Structure 1
């Protein structure tokens, strides 16, 4: 499994190689590099995608992408890049597949091929001990909240603002950062009152003792991988179906406490 140095973040040149299956199931004409599944990821969301202390990519989605590549008879390669550059990079054929926990939206389904595989909800993290006693969304009124720019979480932050405004309360101020790691660092040093992320990441930070996971289960939405090629997307959907049938994917997600997508793996996108 190789990691490209393309993108906005530097990365190690090599991780442990994972043998591909003997038969390649996607023609090279549909791929950026022959025999390779090039995937973009933003590794700032532990435990599902992150960089460990030795500089290696880890997490549920990294393991999942590696297994997807193996079942397609391809060698996995990861490009570390901010989410805001991923869709334009996909269109420019810099990578084959966006594997970063991209939430499903109808807008995205109109511009790329999507396969839903995961169900996620949004959580709110606050300083340890929850000093402002945040127990419901109304308690966020007037506060400063951080989130990654460009992603679904940012869109949901706008829904949160509107929901609080409907309660005739002063909406929070939402600050957008390049990635979640920077947002959480701002929370750590007192520049924010709260930070938005997926629930699994909020729980991970709470388990580490860094922050308190004050609110959870907000705005449930399916999570997807995104592709330019419908041929590749069809093969990925078939691989997901196999991974679920033989228990590999449920076992992986269960280990990380992630809810899987239970409505079948179908390709949604332009034809």
Structure 2
């Protein structure tokens, strides 16, 4: 299922006379002139979600809206599952992936990536943590949910393979289309834990639905904006420049701090500035 979200309707923003400035990039190659179309999977509060009024909320849309404003473009979103987002760049369904996609060197071989925030992962469990989950080993032989095709899905399978090689019982890993579905399965007792971003874990724990069994797992993994490898050079460089400007004027710090997010300069591989990563084979 996909949903097109126009921020004219959702956020009631757009251009004032001051927004269209002389330093706006000219003729950026977007799929629809005057718009920055971004894919997002709005099922991961507090980073990206639809609130009770039907509005798109979270750190990632806030960043996307600010970037679009500074590029003098109208922000628009297509709410789709993660599995279709990278292929959608090549088929020109959207200009930019803005869904908290993890940076990986192998991804940077096929697409242009702009890392912007550092993440960690967590195991979310039933209220009260009845199994006493403290880490991956606690879930040997148990059903564990995550979101399909993402970094967490690949990582939990790698960890499970390592545990099995060491003589432990295999987890029963269940990959769902969205984290919302994964947490619904946890609430229904179909799985014993959900493996996903620690910010999501904290969000649900604060609302009393679940508890966090373990957090801060595999720290240092950055989320990145994604752009088509072949055609995304100008747009990716323009977005990286906007982020550098936001760092300089304090907007980046204010946004990251408001969501309790770890800034990109704490990434172990940070090169001293926001940059585009692209290393085609």
TM-score (norm 2): 0.90
The match for 1:82 is 81
Distance 1:63 1:117 in 2: 13
Conserved? CA contact 2:81–2:178, under 8 Å: yes
Pairing of 1:219-258 with structure 2 (within 5 A): 219-220=218-219, 221-228=221-228, 229-258=232-261
3-state DSSP class of the match of 1:15? helix
1:266 aligned onto 2:259: no
RMSD: 1.5
What's the CA shift for 1:114? 0.4
What's the CA shift for 1:106? 1.3
What's the CA shift for 1:258? 0.7
3-state DSSP class of the match of 2:173? strand
Pairing of 1:136-215 with structure 2 (within 5 A): 136-215=135-214
1:109 aligned onto 2:102: no
Distance 1:132 1:152 in 2: 25
Conserved? CA contact 1:52–1:58, under 8 Å: yes
3-state DSSP class of the match of 1:268? coil
The match for 2:38 is 39
Consecutive unaligned residues in structure 1, runs of 5 or more: 1-7
Distance 2:218 2:58 in 1: 23
Distance 1:166 1:28 in 2: 54
Conserved? CA contact 1:26–1:232, under 8 Å: no
Deviates further, 78-87 or 245-254: 245-254
The match for 1:22 is 20
Conserved? CA contact 2:5–2:77, under 8 Å: no
Distance 1:206 1:261 in 2: 25
Conserved? CA contact 1:141–1:169, under 8 Å: yes
Distance 1:12 1:103 in 2: 23
- Residue by residue, what CA displacement relative to the aligned partner does 1:123-179 show, whole Å, maximum 9, x if unpaired? 100000001011132111111000111111111111220342244211211111111
What's the CA shift for 1:18? 2.5
Q: How many residues align?
A: 264
Conserved? CA contact 2:152–2:195, under 8 Å: yes
The 1:88–1:26 alpha-carbon spacing in structure 2 relative to 1, beyond 3 Å, is farther
Distance 2:260 2:136 in 1: 24
The match for 2:123 is 124
Distance 1:36 1:127 in 2: 42
TM-score (norm 1): 0.93
